[in-house]
Amino acid sequence: MARIAVLGAGGVGSAAARFLAREGHAVTVVEQFTPDHDRGSSYGTSRIIRKTYTDGLYTALMGAAYPLWDALEREAGETLFLRTGGLFFGPSEHSEMAAIRKALGDNGVAFEELDPAACARRFPEFRLLPGESAVFEPEAGFLRASACVRANLRLAEAHGARVRAGARVVSIEPRADAVALVLEGGEVLGFDRLVVSAGPWTARLLAPFVPLPLTVTRQVYCHFEPVAPLEGFGVGRFPVWIDFATNFYGFPHDGEAPGVKVAWHEPGSPTEPERVDRNIHEADREPLRQACAAHLPGLSPRVVLEKVCLYTLSPDHDFVVASLPGEPRVTVLGGLSGHGFKFTVLLGRIAAWMATDQPVPWDVSRWSLARLA
């Protein structure tokens, strides 16, 4: 049994803690804020989960992630993954549409092709434009992100993990007999192994050891009020969706928050996590309104909920999953680049294996730190 610290209680950290505690290790989750806080990247009612990627690696790995999400649901005894189906579209001849079809076909993922007329019959509240076509993935849907984090932490604690909330780490100090975490106020905690999954704070914490070219960006999402009946946008009648030409995406009405959520997977302005502008401006809302006007005529321009969250982008938008150079006791996971929440349960599983010197059954060399040097 090892003493293992998990630094950061978001999607990856909470999952890693659950796996490590279940396997009998003495786990301490160190979180600078309260669990399920809204200052990072893992908070909220919805994150898209899909196997539809232009990159076959991610499609293949989602095949491993889906059963892990199912297992978390069973262990937690609550619904965390709502399978709404996913509509992924763009101009019919767009290169990314061809890449999507190839990745799905190569990995044996079921999908359907929809033209604008077929889409209108299936989803009356969604409009494809002339010249656009869609791939519909029946297994896609959304994860209740905050509920997933809370479930992982609750189960980790049930297996003996300890959560230290409100504990801000000011430095990591590898010593001969332990990896030390020095907290604000001077308290020092010692561990055999450390998993760093601190989201937007990861690069700063590891700066004394390795330069991580991770960029933190400000991202805005809005929930719009329907003018059409809300039921038409509900789970079971409306899918998650992504416009692969413009990177706008959205969700059905999730039953927990008002309105219908629409967001833009386009890097926002670079920022620092402590200095991010949390106010929403008209310049944030207007591109989302335009996306609604094009494809969702049943939504009004009126915003009923809006929020700022953060991306932590790697230069190539691939993840970072690696041991700290020269310090194998420290495992680093970061750079989820705005598309990583659906992988957090899988990344937590990988982190638990790496932190305990177990083999990882997939080649994760593409996510190495060396590529960023």
Distance of CA 44 to the CA centre of its chain: 11
How far apart, in whole angstroms, are the C-alpha atoms of residue 354 and residue 365?
A: 13
**Cβ atoms of 20 and 51 closer than 8 Å:** no
Mean pLDDT of the chain: 97
Q: Would residue 120 be called left, alpha or beta, if left means φ above 0 and alpha means ψ between -120 and 50 degrees? A: alpha
**Which residues fall within 8 angstroms of residue 308, CB to CB, at 6 or more apart?**
218, 219, 220, 276, 277, 278, 279, 280
Radius of gyration of the chain measured on its C-alpha atoms: 21
**120-177 pLDDT, tens digit each:** 999 999 999 999 999 999 999 999 999 999 999 999 999 999 999 999 999 999 999 9
Looking at the structure, give the CATH architecture of the domain made up of residues 3-43+146-214+316-372.
3-Layer(bba) Sandwich (3.50)
**Which residues fall within 8 angstroms of residue 186, CB to CB, at 6 or more apart?**
none
User: Would you list the domain boundaries of the chain?
Assistant: 3-43+146-214+316-372, 47-136+219-313
Do the first three CATH levels of 3-43+146-214+316-372 and 47-136+219-313 match, i.e. the same topology? no
Give residue 373's pLDDT band: very low, low, confident or very high (50, 70, 90).
Answer: confident
**Which residues fall within 8 angstroms of residue 207, CB to CB, at 6 or more apart?**
none
How far apart, in whole angstroms, are the C-alpha atoms of residue 202 and residue 100?
A: 31
CATH superfamily of 47-136+219-313: D-Amino Acid Oxidase, subunit A, domain 2 (3.30.9.10)
Instruction: Note the pTM of the prediction, 2 decimals.
Output: 0.97
Half-sphere exposure of 215 (CA within 13 A, CB side): 13
**65-123 pLDDT, tens digit each:** 999 999 999 999 999 999 999 999 999 999 999 999 999 999 999 999 999 999 999 99
